[in-house]
Amino acid sequence: MNLDTLCEQLGVSSTHSEEHNLQLLERWCLDHVSTDIQINTGSTNERYTQYLELVQYYLEQFAPNIPPDLVKPVPEFDDKTTIEAAAYFGLDRVLVALAPSQELINTPNSFGLTPLHVAAIEGNVHTVQILLDLGADPAQKNNQLQMPIFNALQLPVLYENELRESKIKIYQLLKKADPDTLNNQDSSGDTVLQKMAVHDFSTLINDLISTHPNLAYTMNNHSHYPIHTALLNNSIHCAGILLRDKEMVQVADSKGRVPLHYAARYNGVDMIALCLAASPDSDPVDVEGKTPFMLAAEVGNLDAMQALLDRGANAQLTDNQGKTALHLAAEQMEMSAVRWLLAHTKIDVNASDNHQQTALSISERAGNDKISELLLGRGALSSVTLRH
């Protein structure tokens, strides 16, 4: 069947109003092609044109290429099987019509992705439900040991809010289908809570940690807890929820870095304020003896330095190597941090570390003339002068 034949059968005609023709095409698509693909925006003419294109694609490019053997990869579907392609495009009504076996529904591709994984990745809510109805296994893992519920929590860099809402619905469907999937860790050691923290799925976190509080204290292979992941991805709403647990502020990674260290190094003023409000100590130290203030100086995070100083952070502290924040800023050639430290603190410009290095000797060795000139202008003594 081609487009003209279908339009004739449906009664789509130039003698009818465009609104009437649109309703006929839309109804046919919802019944025979997809309830995931619903064109709800644009003028009547724009919607009608898009439905015509959808029907034409299905009748002339998709349906004619469906092979008798549904396991067979189809070149016209980018070498996907028919079931995988239907899951990818969200053709849920096509899946119902094909009625594939449970074995076929759970057959993975070379990446270990089943059609259920694919539908979850693409955000096709109705397709996910149909696949579950057909016997898709929500606990089947891909090559990264991820179940489909993990894919439900993945988002591309750029996306419409509608996709986020669809992903939330898919997560709820998959959770209901098999609650035990919430306990899974993938090959990176991540849990669903880590995935929520990446994309700030804050509306889901409260419910999850109320039933699975252990996930908040489950570390991945990078020694990151979900709170660290939230900070690394600037997911402020998730971080706020996690930090309601008063113990969370003390959770440390393999380097001994607690949330305040992460906020000082990676985040802006709002996240820093959030972590400071939850932290009883402004100067926790990591395994190298570095405070959040030192980490902020290393990367030139002036907002963090100011916030920490206002909260009572001690700018004079040294790490295990005897280095002050000024040493560390000079070492990383952070000109703005060096200038800020000299202007806003009483840090000793001539302090020596455990190897008798001053901030000036470090900058001179690195050949950073601008920082060296700045330090000399604020009273730094050269290594030759210090030795005498």
Please state, for a pLDDT cut of 90, what percent of the chain lies above it. Answer: 95
Count CB neighbours of 304 within 10 A: 28
What pTM value is reported for the model? 0.90
Three-class DSSP labels, 144-213: CCCCHHHHCCCCCCCCCHHHHHHHHHHHHHHHHHCHHHHHCCCCCCCCHHHHHHHHCCHHHHHHHHHHCH
Instruction: Identify the pLDDT of residue 14.
Output: 86
The answer to whether residue 244 scores a pLDDT higher than 50 is yes
Spacing of C-alpha 304 from chain mean position: 23
Please give the average per-residue pLDDT across 114-128, as a whole number.
99
Contact 83, 73 (CB under 8 A): no
Q: Cα(155)–Cα(163) distance, rounded to whole angstroms? A: 8
Instruction: Identify the pLDDT of residue 388.
Output: 45
DSSP states along 69-103: STTS-BGGGTTB-HHHHHHHHT-HHHHHHH---HH
* Total residues found in the chain within this entry: 388
Sign of CA dihedral 378, 384, 387, 388: negative
R_g (Cα) of the chain, nearest Å: 29
The answer to whether residue 35 scores a pLDDT higher than 90 is yes
- Mean pLDDT for the chain? 95
pLDDT for 290-344, tens place per residue? 999 999 999 999 999 999 999 999 999 999 999 999 999 999 999 999 999 999 9
Instruction: Identify the pLDDT of residue 1.
Output: 82
Q: How far is CA 272 from CA 6, 133, 150, 232, 259, in A?
A: 61, 46, 29, 12, 9
pLDDT for 275-284, tens place per residue? 999 999 999 9
How sure is the predictor about 11, in pLDDT bands with cuts at 50, 70 and 90?
Answer: very high
Q: Cα(71)–Cα(61) distance, rounded to whole angstroms? A: 18
Q: Cα(149)–Cα(192) distance, rounded to whole angstroms? A: 8
Instruction: Identify the pLDDT of residue 383.
Output: 62
Q: Residue 55, exposed/middle/buried by CB under 10 A (0-12, 13-18, 19+)?
A: buried
Instruction: Identify the pLDDT of residue 384.
Output: 47
How sure is the predictor about 269, in pLDDT bands with cuts at 50, 70 and 90?
Answer: very high
pLDDT for 129-153, tens place per residue? 999 999 999 999 999 999 999 999 9
In DSSP terms, which residues pair with 74 in a beta bridge?
80
pLDDT for 58-108, tens place per residue? 999 999 999 999 999 999 999 999 999 999 999 999 999 999 999 999 999
